[in-house]
């Protein structure tokens, strides 16, 4: 399996498809998933002539299941190590949910010439949880409940999330995909429970306000209007207002996992943003 080694010796599994001289698009997965979550986007952009890269964050999937470093600064540092190892320049970085936070933190401090554009899909930016700097956020008790459920019966918890709010399959009239549910469960169960537990704190309590303010490249903020995991008013609308060069696109009625349930729609809008 292709891997790169980070500064602290962690091995990150990655996929790198397409012409090496083409513009790269780097995909950052959400919690508690893997690079496999981007299959529909990777195949689409590969067919459009792009170089597509996705990787499993530390603790997830095929990367080292280290018990340390499950915080946004380390995730951004790992991203920089991957970018340097593959010598990616003028790249578009696309992050979903927790991966959106990683993109914000990485892009804000990226070396000149490494990043051309960024996309935040259902992202946790600027702040998701109710911390001192964000009194209107999601109460931290919600995330403590996630930790309890994970520690008690991770396998069952990882069935409940995709079967219900993640893809909006708990909504009346929803067209339920057992394949998406099982694939979500499969990805989650390959990762480290310790890493996934620690990352709950990272995605709930990290404040990306200053990161967003400092990003000068164009950023597209995409969000489902019926996102039950990361509320759009608390995150996407505020994030877009903080970005110096941000554009907001809200999809009425769509869920947190909108790029998986509606890949044709999201892929077309991503392509338009990247090419314009």
Catalytic annotation present for 256: yes
Catalytic annotation present for 227: yes
Of the residues 36, 192, 227, 255, only one is catalytic, namely 227
Q: What are phi and psi of 37, to 5 degrees?
A: -65, -15
Catalytic annotation present for 78: no
The b/e string for 59-86 (b: 16+ C-beta within 10 A; e otherwise) is bbbbbbbbeebbbbebbbbbbbbbbeeb
CA distances from 130 to 1, 136, 200 (A): 40, 6, 13
CA atoms of 23 and 14, how far apart (whole Å): 17
Of the residues 63, 97, 163, 255, only one is catalytic, namely 97
Q: What are phi and psi of 174, to 5 degrees?
A: -65, 140
Q: Which residues participate in catalysis according to the annotation?
A: 97, 227, 256
């Amino acid at each position: 399996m292709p891997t790169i080694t980070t500064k602290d010796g962690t091995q990150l599994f990655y996929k790198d498809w397409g012409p090496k001289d083409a513009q790269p698009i780097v995909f950052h997965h959400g919690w508690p998933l893997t690079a496999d979550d981007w299959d529909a986007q990777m195949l689409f952009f590969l067919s459009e002539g792009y170089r597509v890269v996705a990787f499993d964050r530390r603790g997830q999937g095929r990367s080292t299941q280290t018990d340390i470093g499950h915080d946004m600064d380390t995730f951004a540092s790992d991203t920089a190590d991957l970018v340097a190892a593959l010598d990616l320049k003028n790249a578009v970085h696309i992050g979903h949910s927790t991966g959106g936070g990683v993109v914000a933190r990485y892009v804000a401090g990226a070396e000149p010439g490494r990043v051309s554009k960024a996309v935040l899909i259902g992202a946790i930016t600027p702040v998701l949880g109710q911390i001192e700097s964000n009194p209107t956020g999601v109460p931290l008790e919600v995330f403590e409940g996630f930790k309890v459920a994970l520690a008690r019966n991770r396998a069952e918890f990882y069935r409940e999330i995709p079967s219900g709010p993640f893809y909006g399959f708990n909504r009346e009239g929803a067209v339920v995909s057992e394949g998406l549910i099982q694939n979500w469960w499969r990805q989650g169960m390959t990762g480290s429970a310790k890493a996934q537990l620690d990352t709950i704190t990272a995605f709930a309590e990290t404040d990306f306000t200053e990161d967003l303010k400092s990003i000068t490249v164009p950023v597209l903020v995409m969000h489902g209007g019926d996102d039950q995991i990361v509320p759009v008013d608390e995150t996407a609308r505020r994030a877009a207002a903080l970005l110096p060069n941000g554009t907001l696109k809200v999809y009425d009625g769509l869920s947190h996992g909108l790029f998986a349930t509606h890949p044709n729609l999201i892929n077309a809008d991503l392509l338009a943003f990247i090419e314009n």
